[in-house]
Structure 1
Amino acid sequence: MSELDQPVNALDGVGEALSAKLARLRIDTLGDLLFHLPLRYQDRTRITPIGTLRAGMEGVVEGEVAAADVVKGRRRSLLVRLKDGSGIISLRFFHFSPAQQQQFAPGAHVRCFGEARAGATGLEIYHPEYRLLKSGETPVEDHLTPIYPTTVGLTQPRLRGLIGQALKILAGAPQALPDGIPEPLRERFRLPELHACLRYPDLERLAAGTHPTQRRLALEELLAHQLSLRQVRLRIQADGAPPLPSGRGLQTRFVAQLPFSLTGAQRRVLDEIARDLETAQPMLRLVQGDVGSGKTVVAALAALAAIAGGCQAAVMAPTEILAEQHFRNFRDWFTPLGIDVAWLAGKLKGKARLDTKAAIADGRAQVVVGTHALFQEDVHFQRLGLAIVDEQHRFGVHQRLALRQKGEAGGLTPHQLIMTATPIPRTLAMSAYADLDLSVIDELPPGRTPVQTVAVPDERRPEVVERIRRACDAGRQAYWVCTLIEESEALQCQAAEATRDALTEALPALAVGLVHGRMKAAEKAAVMDAFKRGELDLLVATTVIEVGVDVPNASLMIIENPERLGLSQLHQLRGRVGRGDTESFCVLLYRPPLSAHSRERLGVMRETTDGFRIAEKDLELRGPGEVLGTRQTGLAQMKIADLERDRDLLERVSPLARALLEEAPDASAPLIRRWLGEEAGRYGQV
């Protein structure tokens, strides 16, 4: 066992209680301590005169204790008054001991660090880090101070001390830390040695995240994530899949009955899918297409290849509204071809559910459309050849692996086609979906008119209501989307109901419907059907209508409080209109005053309808965890890498991952374990 494999209690001062706190941070060994990396750095290299401090500023101050008293207020606290000749500031401690109180005797010299804030006695620093100065002691820190992720009961100084001990051990035995990337690959990719990267020099570039040693660690972390996803791919593809080369005849009949022609982009993506399906390895392909680009038709043609090959196809969507819409589309398209389409969702109960499960198990149901209910253990397919997952960002790697099990009865793994209308920036796709091949439908069908977007302050609401009346008088329909104003779903739904009532009163000649998350699925479906048939003029909804709802006659979208939503979600909502040949509009009804950040985001929506440009901006403004719509990928919790800052590294990660798997396959498991810890096995097991 190397020095760094020792448990943390091998360090001075680490007993059972401290070990338990460190375990909460997933720190069990000295090596884990080394890779518990700073969140950020503080500059404590110079002393700030107290008189120049302002509320909100962080800094090191040094001075003489003028007074120290226990004061009673809402909470008892120790208040220390510190002066330095330029001014006076209070240090306030809510948790303190009698010994601590005695330390702050008048005349004692103290150096402390913290954030100044406005308080009852003027500027105050709450619970500063401090130390008492001995006579003649002047040097301040000569390096930036790291701030680490911590947990209750574990202070920054304690954590720094432990990591310092681990770094000392590393300095004495650098060979105890295996590099992880073999030397020939390090030289080829011009990477510094690992043990040197953990001992940062005190340079300003640390704070900016641009130091070469940090870049090496960021590269390695991105590499570990990519390797873990490639392992998922290898694990899935280790099983055989049914080759499906025979769908052309059925596909030709299907295309002939469509009232439109396929776009060049749809044909290109279909060729990519066909090449995958012809092999005995499971297809793992992500199809990105902007709102309205025709992904569902591509999915239907892929399903026909499975059926022609004697297999079943499953189509899964994240919400019952979207799943029901897919079911209707597939049923309308496939019934004339003599293909049986079944429906399975959580709300299907009793005999109907038993009958559907029986039809899936004996193969009568050739296509099964549903929600995550398709994953349940009691659902058995006779021969599942293709699984189509819509809106992938709502699902995760777990589900991709779970789909394997659905084909195991036949000894084969189904091909997987994953679709999303959320354009994912290339940098993010290269990381979050490294286990998938990528296809992009980058062309809209002819006849689609770009949606014009305007931002309007809330005080002009009566004008917006009048605009709805004019659109509906002209035979069009409109959406009014209420976004998440309230914390609880119940209050959100009440807000939507209140909006529906107000609009019904303001527009008595119009039929107004309501859809929100607390309605039963059957109620939601009935309202959506009525809107689709034109029986409702105006639909008030929460963001449940974000994906997949297709009403070509709707030409006006009002989004209330758009400043509360991400750009990609706004783009999805806007995509509910402009689906026909009529000029369509999206009104962003905001509440002033807007922050500079919100103004910038709404400006992007006005300037472009290009989903990929919007997604890039969304990534820049909100970060990867929000853009993906989920934090389950692990990307949002990276220790040192930043997908926006380090996007150029991703170009190097893919070739490095390939080279490592080919030339040093045994190196990937330790790398994944180092950076993902217990998560290392998460992508590999279900």
Structure 2
Amino acid sequence: MSVSSSYGAGSPAVTALKGVGAALSVKLERLGISTIQDLLFHLPTRYQDRTRIVPIGSLRPGDECVIQGTILASDIQMGRRRSLLCRIQDGTGTLTLRFFHFSAAQKNALAVGNELRCFSEVRPGPAGLEMVHPEYRASAADGLTPVEESLTPIYPMTEGLQQARVRTLVQQSLAWLETGSVSELLPESVRRQWRLPELKDSLIYLHAPPVDADQHLLLEGLHPAQRRLAFEELLAHHLTLLQLRHKVQEHGAPVLPPSQQLTEPFLAQLPFSLTNAQQRVSQEVSADLEKSIPMLRLVQGDVGSGKTMVAALAALQAVENGLQAAIMAPTEILAEQHFINFSQWMEPLGIKLAWLAGKVKGKQRVTQLAAIADGSAQIVIGTHALFQEEVRFYNLGLAVIDEQHRFGVHQRLSLREKGQDGKRSPHQLIMTATPIPRTLTMSAYADLDCSIIDELPPGRTPVNTVVIADSRRDQVVDRVRAACAEGRQVYWVCTLIEESEALQCQAAEVAETMLQELLPELRIALVHGRMKAKEKSEVMQRFKAAELDLLVATTVIEVGVDVPNASVMIIENPERLGLSQLHQLRGRVGRGSVESFCVLMYHAPLSKQGRERLAVVRETTDGFRIAEKDLELRGPGEILGTRQTGMMQFRIADLQRDSDLLSRVQQVATQLADQPVVMEAVVRRWLGHHDEYGHV
């Protein structure tokens, strides 16, 4: 049986449906819909409850519901935008209907005294609650116009498509399903073991919930029919990552046994001992390097936990065996810092390094490329420039990728082509200081083994975090003045570079000017992402060399310099940033033995969620707890970074809500390991052509 015959077997093209011509089929194709079966798996992301009329007096902002009432007033309001405002009442309260776009016929239909039934989201307005451009229709005076009998599904859309059109097409697909079929790809033993409902029944239920459907479960995404499909979707993503792992490992890797020839003198020259956690993780990495299959290991460690030392030991093990190691960082600043650190550690051992980034040009670039190609450069450090085609390694044995979530999966996988003659893949060590919740590790990084450095080196002092309104800016400036007077250095972080009225963020350039005026005695400089790499690097080096007291910066310093003398960090508008990003920024201070502070200076008023988020950062320095909260509040895409979200866009699964399914998904993936046709069919059904990252 071929994959094509098992996937979409007997499913006609979507053009077989009534009303689907060439133009509509192109729009559907944008949603990944080309067959009727594709349409059946285009699942509702949520439901609207139009089955009951809600009293206006009980409405709250954010409610999405049906109301019914009589129009009390209907007037055109002139202002910045001309709008039609209607006041509607039902005996329990009043509400405003607001229309920015309206015709004379609409104005006449919305006359005083008319009875209306409306559906929309309730929002706060200047004079109480409002519905903006609600769906509406005239209601019978006796109120007997029927409401919907079941929940209304809401589908993912693309430009030029309307919900009503998609619902009509889905209804036709369900009619086809009565006589057609969809393939049950999960073995019966699996469905029985985990009590999973029939696929066909689940699809019908979710597209057209019956009158007696458990609305609460459906709206929460916890109905057995939803869980059945979420299970299969999570399985598809998991299988794809396992396919990635298999592809990387199918070529084999160089065996790199530890000889201690370089490792022992390296450890002896260090002014400190490794923590127990660093030793444990280094041993796990070392054991991987001895194997003939490529290491694929993710090392997680909070800011300052010493991941770079683990990378250095791994690089030495490669060099001991006569192979090259590459260290890749997401920014030139971080790559340059790695180069400086590695040079100090490695040059006394007689190890030659090469440095490659965008700013390395001309003769210097030619020299570096030659050293990489002839093997004289034993350790190569750089940015994504190392991926470029012109970069040829002599014998790359290990690739270390720092802050993996900043790179796409494609980039990481393309490293295997840099291995010896393309026949053996280099070992891969991926490092991140962004703690990743276990849920995401099990799903987004299923192709990687995982190690955690869960211990900070001695001497690191906890950072005191303070949340304060920007109305108390003078007090914050006084704190900066006092810290610098004691010989300490300060970061002042802004979230934007230029003034933005919409975001009300204090821009970095304006902040620098303001601070120069308020603190004329201090040496102040600015660094932001739009500066040239050379300028940026020069400013950062001056700060590191204590030639500056105060560094005004954007979030470009999130990953970067290690300045033990910096003991205060001010973050403006922290409510605009993710929790993990705030945690990363905070990690720039507290690197010395002196007491350090992080001041989160927010702009009032803060939303309830905003207060909750900043409270988490204030109350804990546990990066994993912060990451779990970040996942809960913002979703996986934000944590993993936009480069990877393509593989994390689910149709029905939700990593937070369905995290309990992940261990079962792993078990089933193992059971299917010897059934490649089924595995491929599951992936194809849920990811279509979006599994291309498995075919680099």
TM-score normalised by structure 1 residue count: 0.91
Moved more, 23-32 or 117-126: 117-126
Change (3 A) 1:375 1:138: same
Distance in 1 (alpha carbons) for counterparts of 2:251 and 2:648: 31
Aligned to 1:143: 150
- Find 1:552's aligned residue among 557, 560, 564: 564
Q: Is the 8 A contact 1:42 1:146 kept in 2?
A: yes
Q: Is the 8 A contact 2:564 2:591 kept in 1?
A: yes
Q: How does 1:133-532 map to 2 (within 5 A)?
A: 139-173=146-180, 176-200=181-205, 201=209, 202-204=213-215, 205-407=217-419, 409=421, 411-484=423-496, 486=498, 495-532=507-544
Distance in 2 (alpha carbons) for counterparts of 1:119 and 1:508: 44
Q: Is the 8 A contact 2:85 2:96 kept in 1?
A: no
Distance in 2 (alpha carbons) for counterparts of 1:447 and 1:136: 73
Answering whether residue 30 of structure 2 is matched by residue 24 of structure 1, we say yes
**In the TM superposition, what whole-angstrom CA distance separates every residue of 1:457-488 from its partner, at most 9, and x where no partner exists?**
22322222222222222222221112237578
Q: Is the 8 A contact 1:484 1:564 kept in 2?
A: no
Moved more, 236-245 or 594-603: 594-603
Distance in 2 (alpha carbons) for counterparts of 1:471 and 1:604: 26
Distance in 2 (alpha carbons) for counterparts of 1:473 and 1:206: 60
SS at match of 2:594: coil
Instruction: Report the alpha carbon displacement of residue 557 of structure 1 after superposing the two structures with TM.
Output: 1.3
Change (3 A) 1:11 1:109: farther
Distance in 2 (alpha carbons) for counterparts of 1:502 and 1:125: 41
Opposite residue 652 of structure 2, the aligned amino acid is I
TM-score normalised by structure 2 residue count: 0.89
Change (3 A) 1:90 1:262: closer
Opposite residue 278 of structure 2, the aligned amino acid is Q
Number of residue pairs matched by the alignment: 680
Q: Is the 8 A contact 2:405 2:643 kept in 1?
A: no
Aligned to 2:120: 114
Distance in 1 (alpha carbons) for counterparts of 2:421 and 2:483: 54
SS at match of 1:249: coil
Distance in 2 (alpha carbons) for counterparts of 1:576 and 1:120: 46
Instruction: Report the alpha carbon displacement of residue 248 of structure 1 after superposing the two structures with TM.
Output: 2.0
Q: Is the 8 A contact 2:356 2:368 kept in 1?
A: yes
Instruction: Report the alpha carbon displacement of residue 571 of structure 1 after superposing the two structures with TM.
Output: 0.9
Opposite residue 572 of structure 1, the aligned amino acid is Q
Q: Is the 8 A contact 1:554 1:578 kept in 2?
A: yes
Q: Is the 8 A contact 1:306 1:313 kept in 2?
A: yes
Moved more, 270-279 or 504-513: 504-513
SS at match of 1:547: coil
Distance in 2 (alpha carbons) for counterparts of 1:577 and 1:212: 48
Distance in 2 (alpha carbons) for counterparts of 1:61 and 1:482: 44
Aligned to 2:693: 683
Aligned to 1:621: 633
**In the TM superposition, what whole-angstrom CA distance separates every residue of 1:142-184 from its partner, at most 9, and x where no partner exists?**
22111111223322122111111111211223xx211111112
Moved more, 575-584 or 54-63: 54-63
SS at match of 1:244: coil
Q: Name the % identity.
A: 63
- Find 1:659's aligned residue among 671, 675, 694: 671
Change (3 A) 1:499 1:121: closer
Instruction: Report the alpha carbon displacement of residue 438 of structure 1 after superposing the two structures with TM.
Output: 0.2
Distance in 1 (alpha carbons) for counterparts of 2:595 and 2:375: 45
Q: Is the 8 A contact 2:580 2:627 kept in 1?
A: yes
Instruction: Report the alpha carbon displacement of residue 495 of structure 1 after superposing the two structures with TM.
Output: 2.9
Q: Is the 8 A contact 1:486 1:492 kept in 2?
A: no
Instruction: Report the alpha carbon displacement of residue 353 of structure 1 after superposing the two structures with TM.
Output: 0.8
Change (3 A) 1:63 1:91: farther
Q: Is the 8 A contact 2:315 2:398 kept in 1?
A: yes
Distance in 2 (alpha carbons) for counterparts of 1:460 and 1:298: 43
Q: Is the 8 A contact 2:122 2:129 kept in 1?
A: no
SS at match of 1:248: coil
**In the TM superposition, what whole-angstrom CA distance separates every residue of 1:69-89 from its partner, at most 9, and x where no partner exists?**
999999999999999898898
Instruction: Report the alpha carbon displacement of residue 523 of structure 1 after superposing the two structures with TM.
Output: 1.6
Aligned to 1:15: 21
Change (3 A) 1:545 1:119: closer
**In the TM superposition, what whole-angstrom CA distance separates every residue of 1:46-71 from its partner, at most 9, and x where no partner exists?**
23467876776433356899999999
Opposite residue 242 of structure 2, the aligned amino acid is R
Change (3 A) 1:191 1:536: same
Opposite residue 38 of structure 1, the aligned amino acid is P
Answering whether residue 55 of structure 2 is matched by residue 45 of structure 1, we say no
RMSD: 3.4
Change (3 A) 1:444 1:649: same
Q: Is the 8 A contact 2:305 2:454 kept in 1?
A: yes
Aligned to 1:672: 683
Q: Is the 8 A contact 1:311 1:384 kept in 2?
A: yes
Instruction: Report the alpha carbon displacement of residue 410 of structure 1 after superposing the two structures with TM.
Output: 5.3
Change (3 A) 1:504 1:30: same
Unmatched 5+ residue regions in structure 1?
none
SS at match of 1:632: helix
Q: Is the 8 A contact 2:505 2:573 kept in 1?
A: no
Moved more, 536-545 or 331-340: 536-545
Distance in 2 (alpha carbons) for counterparts of 1:661 and 1:172: 32
Distance in 2 (alpha carbons) for counterparts of 1:596 and 1:148: 29
Distance in 1 (alpha carbons) for counterparts of 2:130 and 2:323: 72
Q: Is the 8 A contact 1:624 1:635 kept in 2?
A: no
Change (3 A) 1:68 1:344: same
Instruction: Report the alpha carbon displacement of residue 370 of structure 1 after superposing the two structures with TM.
Output: 0.4
SS at match of 2:507: helix
Change (3 A) 1:18 1:250: same
Distance in 1 (alpha carbons) for counterparts of 2:13 and 2:378: 55
Opposite residue 414 of structure 1, the aligned amino acid is P
Opposite residue 29 of structure 1, the aligned amino acid is T
SS at match of 1:241: coil
Unmatched 5+ residue regions in structure 2?
none
Answering whether residue 587 of structure 2 is matched by residue 575 of structure 1, we say yes
SS at match of 1:453: strand
Q: Is the 8 A contact 2:72 2:89 kept in 1?
A: yes
Opposite residue 615 of structure 2, the aligned amino acid is G
Change (3 A) 1:454 1:53: closer
SS at match of 1:198: helix
SS at match of 1:638: coil
SS at match of 2:653: coil
Q: Is the 8 A contact 1:357 1:380 kept in 2?
A: yes
